Amino acid sequence: MYDAPLVEMPPRPPVRQVLRELANPATAKGAIAVVGGLLIVVLPGISLTVVEYAFGIALVLSGSYDAWYGLSGRSQRTSGSRTLALLRGLAGILVGLLVLLTPKSTLDTVVVLAGIYLLIRGVIYLVGSAFAQSRPQRLHRLTAGFAASAFGVLSMAVPTSVVEGVVVTAAVVAIVVGGVVLAYGVRAAGPEAASFDVPDATIPAILWDWVNENDVGSERRESLSDTLYFDGADVRGKLTAWWVMLLLSVAIATFAVLQDSTAVVIGAMLIAPLMTPILGLAGAVVNGWRHRAGSSALLVAMGVAAAIALAYLLASWVPQLVAFDANSQISSRTSPTFIDMLIAIAAGAAGAFATVNSRVASSIAGVAIAVALVPPLSVVGVALESERWSDALGAFVLFMTNFVSIVLAAAAVFVLTGFAEASRLRTNGRQILSTLAPFGALAMVILVPLVFTAEGILADSSRSRTAQAEVQSWLEGVDRVQVDRVSVDEDEVYVALSGSQRPPSPSVLQQQLSDALGGPVSLVLEYTPTQRFDVNESGEVSREGG
């Protein structure tokens, strides 16, 4: 009987050696960034002071790690590289200590002063754009002017919200970048080590290496381009199908809005094809494809105009089945908030990832439902037909919020997943950034009304909770009265009660509400008596209330 020769397996490295290899600056920085970002995102109730301290401690720890590697001499690079690592570490420690030692009141003052400075610089940029000698220079100044002015206004008006927004944004970026750096550090400790020394690898160098390693290749890139762009042999057929589906989806969405039907609106979102050219625009921008970027942007603009016009015509022809003021499909899309921008960012990232990754490509329909593109345009047309200009503007701002957020999020995902060609990013990096810059500036401009709307919603919610607590305090000791509704509308509080016991004096409640809400308010109190009949086994009836 023939015995096959035994294949000798290579010995496994000891656990201590594996842990020592994993304990490199890349894994340390990535782990610190991910854990710090998750603490901020997962614990939304954590105070800003705690967040600042955590951020400062993370900077000190990361800087200490860099400084230790620079001083220990473990790096195989030159003394100059070790010196740079030491300087990076000292800078991180210094900035972390400044964050830890800066009082919150001083921080708000600094933010307001920075807002004034940014607003002045923004106005200077906008004025200077009129005297620019070249078109790229004019575009650069306009972009910088809009972005600086918008951020300056926000910093002056809501400094605390700006600080919180910056912290949360930094947390999300830290999670994403930290995850990439952590994965890189784990990979570098394995058999396929990186091509340069990990202790000296900066985060930009790690990200560059990540993009190079994940490049999808020219063949796969062209295959994906066929699904995103209307070029090639059958251009006319692709465009005809796209326009037919767009107009049909707009018609369905408009009828659904007029009928106030959520289910039909979801159906219109399922077949709406507007997501494709928006993702195509993001892909063309990061790859430096000017012609495709221009074609995608033009197609989106023409589609938006056609959608609004068709919705206007249908609204003028079809009688409205639901009163405008009571239509939830309209009212939910005329006051966009910061939450809508976050939804669009997540949907844009998911759409881009589903486009590149064939394993999850089937989920693109769910992405279409998650973010509203066609229904807001239908609301714009319906509102214009009813001459409700503010509602039309609100719905259009919602669409622009979704559009800009999808482009920016999809561009970032296309870079990280390798759809963007690494060589183009390296050679045309400045050009690509200058193309993305107007979208960033537009996002900042859109962010201004969104933040103020969110501030108003949060303020109204806080006032409603305060009023609810005062009503409960007013009814303390009254057992047979329940609160049905409490709402606050500017300087008026509406309270609806029901029960079988007489409530306390309404004037006492009005005074409590005025004191709690920080100013005189009027009170509208509705009380519904409740009658209760108890019939015992003998048939005797007793009544309570009434």
> What is the spatial distance between Cα 122 and Cα 445, in angstroms, rounded to a whole number?
12
User: Are residues 480 and 333 part of one domain?
Assistant: no
3-state DSSP call for residue 487?
strand
Backbone angles phi, psi at 49, to 5 degrees: -65, -45
Q: Which residues pair with 533 in a beta bridge?
A: 543
The length of the chain, given as a count of residues: 546
**Whole-angstrom distance between the N-terminal and C-terminal Cα of the chain?**
101
Looking at 154, 187, 210, the residue that finishes a domain is 210
User: Are residues 226 and 194 part of one domain?
Assistant: no
Q: Tell whether the model's pLDDT for residue 431 goes beyond 70.
A: yes
In-domain check, residue 136:
no
Distances (CA, A) of 280 to 85, 220, 338: 40, 15, 25
Residue with tokens 């991180």: 92
Backbone angles phi, psi at 110, to 5 degrees: -60, -40
3-state DSSP call for residue 544?
strand
pLDDT (mean) for 419-436: 76
Tens of pLDDT, residues 230-284: 877 778 888 898 999 999 999 998 888 888 788 888 888 878 888 888 989 888 8
- Residue 309, classified by CB atoms within 10 Å of its CB into exposed (0-12), middle (13-18) or buried (19+), is middle
Distances (CA, A) of 330 to 260, 319, 377, 388, 459: 8, 16, 11, 11, 23
Tens of pLDDT, residues 133-148: 777 777 777 878 888 8
pLDDT at position 17, please?
47
**Contact by Cβ (8 Å): 485, 371:** no
In-domain check, residue 326:
yes
User: Are residues 531 and 423 part of one domain?
Assistant: no
Outline where DSSP puts E strands in 415-491: 481-489
Looking at 189, 210, 231, the residue that finishes a domain is 210
User: Are residues 416 and 508 part of one domain?
Assistant: no
Q: Which long-range contacts does 423-426 make (Cβ < 8 Å, 24+ apart)? A: 424/287, 424/288, 425/211, 425/286, 426/208
User: Are residues 260 and 397 part of one domain?
Assistant: yes
pLDDT at position 15, please?
47
In-domain check, residue 30:
yes
Angle of helix 275-287 versus helix 429-474 axis, rounded to 10 = 130
pLDDT at position 82, please?
66
User: Are residues 225 and 189 part of one domain?
Assistant: no
Distances (CA, A) of 425 to 212, 418, 480: 10, 11, 70
**Identity (one letter) of the amino acid at 191?**
P
Tens of pLDDT, residues 10-56: 555 554 444 455 556 667 777 777 777 777 666 655 545 665 676 67
Looking at 147, 176, 210, the residue that finishes a domain is 210
Q: Tell whether the model's pLDDT for residue 425 goes beyond 50.
A: yes
- How many Å separate Cα 522 from the centre of its chain? 38
The token pair that represents 406 in the structure block: 């999808």
In-domain check, residue 457:
no
The token pair that represents 98 in the structure block: 């400044």
| Confidence at 308, pLDDT banded by 50, 70, 90 | very high
Tens of pLDDT, residues 147-201: 888 888 888 877 777 777 777 777 778 888 888 777 777 766 555 544 445 545 6
State the CATH number of the domain containing residue 528. 3.30.300
User: Are residues 179 and 46 part of one domain?
Assistant: yes
Q: Which of 271, 236, 234, 278 is nearest to 250 (CA)?
A: 271
Residue with tokens 């005189």: 520
pLDDT at position 367, please?
59
In-domain check, residue 236:
yes
Q: Tell whether the model's pLDDT for residue 451 goes beyond 80.
A: no
User: Are residues 389 and 258 part of one domain?
Assistant: yes
Name the domain count of the chain. Answer: 3
> What is the spatial distance between Cα 268 and Cα 246, in angstroms, rounded to a whole number?
9
pLDDT at position 257, please?
86
Q: Which long-range contacts does 293-298 make (Cβ < 8 Å, 24+ apart)? A: 293/435, 295/229, 295/230, 295/231, 296/228, 296/229
In-domain check, residue 464:
no
3-state DSSP call for residue 532?
strand
> What is the spatial distance between Cα 34 and Cα 480, in angstroms, rounded to a whole number?
52
pLDDT (mean) for 461-482: 84
User: Are residues 61 and 191 part of one domain?
Assistant: yes
Count the helix, strand and coil residues of the chain and give each as a percent rounded to the nearest 5: 75, 5, 20
By residue range, what is the domain housing residue 201? Answer: 19-106+163-210
**Identity (one letter) of the amino acid at 460?**
D
Q: Tell whether the model's pLDDT for residue 113 goes beyond 60.
A: yes
> What is the spatial distance between Cα 170 and Cα 33, in angstroms, rounded to a whole number?
10
In-domain check, residue 498:
yes
User: Are residues 98 and 35 part of one domain?
Assistant: yes
Tens of pLDDT, residues 58-80: 778 877 877 776 676 554 445 55
Tens of pLDDT, residues 332-352: 777 787 778 888 888 888 888
User: Are residues 178 and 45 part of one domain?
Assistant: yes
Q: Record the pTM.
A: 0.69
- Residue 27, classified by CB atoms within 10 Å of its CB into exposed (0-12), middle (13-18) or buried (19+), is buried
In-domain check, residue 132:
no
> What is the spatial distance between Cα 186 and Cα 28, in angstroms, rounded to a whole number?
10
User: Are residues 362 and 256 part of one domain?
Assistant: yes
